[in-house]
Amino acid sequence: MEIKLPSLGEGIESGDVLEILVSVGDVVKKEQSLIEMETDKATVSVPSPAAGKILSITVKEGESVPVGTVIATIEASGAAAPAPAKAPAPAAAAPTPQPAAAPAPAAAPQQAAAPKPEPVRPAPVAPARPVAVPAAPVAAAPAPAPAVDNEGTPFADDVIPAGPAIRRLAREVGVDLASVVGSGEGGRITREDVMAVVRHASQAARTPAPAAPAPTSGISESKSASKSPAANLPGTPSQDDYGPIRVDRMTKIRKTIANQMHRSWESVPRVVNFDDADVTELEAFRQTSKDDYASRGIKLTTMPFLIKAVATALKHHPALNAALDMENEQIIYKDYVNLGIAVDSDRGLVVPTLKNADRMSIPDVAYALADLANRVRSNDFAVSDLRGGTFTISNLGAIGGTYSTPIVNVPEVAILLVGRSRKLPVVMDDDSIKPRLMMPLSLAYDHRLVDGATAARFLNDIIAYLEAPSRLLLAI
């Protein structure tokens, strides 16, 4: 049976082979992941259409493969099942009269002498019955055993409850997933579980260092410690004219990001407005409300308030919720508000879309935001989740930093970057100076459509909503 690369999503004609998860000769189960394909910003696992044995793999890692291309061939287990079914009859009769294990090896050559293509399958089956008596056939028995029921244990990686992104992360940091206990739903291994193992190993590596005075153990530990970080660095070691380097292949995601950024830089005359929002009252409200939200399973951060403020302001400033069609000389105003939320993942910057954000309440936004972030970081999202955005928000404050000059995510015409809130001395209306929690905002926009005054009014509206939480909660 030929296994062809299925459709990877609407408008996607090809993908890069990210990783081949099986080898020729492996016995796989139906729906077991065979190959990971990388598209623009999503990773898709290609499952096996049937249980059986992999006969060939016709693609290589890093290769770009069009949809419909044959990527592997498999011998379905349904066709091979009758052959082993007939062989057990004489094998079952043989152990009954024999008191010792000696006749068993003698019977196997007689069967092997008759048909040449089939001795490989029945030969191991015969010793599988008396496996507890002889020592020699034990080594040969486990290999073909899973081929009979397709439920054997040699495929431990397939039954480990971890997605492709988690498996890749584990390989990069040198963690054996078989030893990791998952804390996710149904025992699924999460990114936090893997990183907890890494932190534990790091602490264990640091602890014995001072307590190892013996020169031999000290040297071996220092060598392993020095090798461990280097082993996790990306790229293949090489050399240039000035010293050692590492060369890594540009992934499909990185190429897509590079092309999109270059397109934006070439086509968009970008202007950036900087401002601060006084979120002292908002933070006080959040602190008094977060326990109530937590009891309902919602982690209340500042982001849902910001998203709601942006979505509401966009309804009153259509020029920032639009797109330019220069070929047809048209401005396309969007009557829906789909906010792209930039998420930093192991694979690069991914921007999933929060659909109809203007119609959502703050609890709804908090739920949806957590779901989007979890699915992106576990690589459990579709290409459709990345499309249809009308405006983008990037949260630099989660990592650190205040102001920046973000790149407009074309064909959108604006993007808002929020920095880390910090306390600053602010001169109040009565000329008193008080410490206030200030949120830095950086609004970049396409000056072909958005004028400076329009951008300033839009940013002022966002700030007004953030500074008056009650007004934001009542906004429709």
Catalytic residues: 447
CA distance 289 to 295: 10
CA distance 3 to 143: 24
Which residues are within 8 A (CB) of 402 and not within 5 positions of it... i.e. 6 or more apart? 419, 420, 422, 440
* Contact yes or no for 87/65 (Cβ under 8 A): no
Judged by DSSP in three states, 378 sits in: coil
Q: What angle do CA 190, 8, 18 make, to 5 degrees?
A: 55
Give the pairing type, strands 70-76 and 52-57. Answer: antiparallel
**Among 264, 279, 308, 307, residue whose Cα is nearest residue 444:** 264
DSSP string for residues in 24-35: TT-EE-TT-EEE
CA distance 128 to 105: 12
Q: Which two tokens stand for residue 24?
A: 């020729």
The count of residues in the chain is 476
Phi, psi at residue 349, to the nearest 5°? -75, 120
- The dihedral through the CA atoms of 35, 248, 157, 39 has a sign that is negative
- The dihedral through the CA atoms of 431, 435, 437, 440 has a sign that is positive
CA distance 418 to 45: 34
Phi, psi at residue 7, to the nearest 5°? -60, 135
CA distance 476 to 316: 11
CA distance 319 to 331: 9
**Among 384, 368, 250, 242, residue whose Cα is nearest residue 311:** 368
**Residue owning tokens 């969007």:** 334
Q: What angle do CA 84, 86, 89 make, to 5 degrees?
A: 110
